[in-house]
């Protein structure tokens, strides 16, 4: 299955990538993602395999963070505390 992503709309890209991730986790063999970026429309392609869906999840999170910034929202941050309060 091939998926073409326009990086000028990170919200739509994150949504499309999330569906690709779901397909990979569900057992599809591989997913080819093609990006078109910049004013010149440079095209690049990446193939994700079932063995490394974590790389795709990282890409999804990057696009979700860009989408949140465009909407004026703060990106989600997660941190673990080290202990009590002094």
| Separation CA 82–CA 24 (nearest Å) | 35
Stretch 68-82: mean pLDDT, rounded?
73
Mean pLDDT, rounded, for 30-49: 78
Please report the pLDDT score of residue 27 as a whole number.
67
Question: Which class for 7: exposed (0-12), middle (13-18), buried (19 or more C-beta within 10 A)?
Answer: middle
Q: Using one digit for the tens of pLDDT, what is the confidence trace for 1-31?
A: 567 777 788 888 888 888 877 777 776 667 7
pLDDT digits (tens, 9 = 90+) for 47-66: 876 656 787 788 888 888 88
Cα angle for residues 65, 9, 77 (degrees, 5° grid): 5
d(CA 66, CA 58): 13
A 10 A CB-CB count for 13 gives 23
């Amino acid at each position: 299955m091939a998926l073409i992503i326009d990086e000028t709309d990170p919200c739509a890209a994150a949504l499309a990538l999330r569906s690709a991730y779901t397909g990979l986790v569900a057992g599809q063999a591989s997913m080819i993602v093609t990006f078109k970026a910049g004013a010149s429309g440079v095209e690049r392609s990446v193939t994700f395999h079932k063995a490394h869906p974590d790389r795709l999840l990282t890409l999804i999170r990057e696009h979700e963070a860009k989408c949140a910034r465009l909407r004026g929202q703060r990106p989600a941050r997660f941190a673990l505390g080290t202990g009590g309060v002094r």
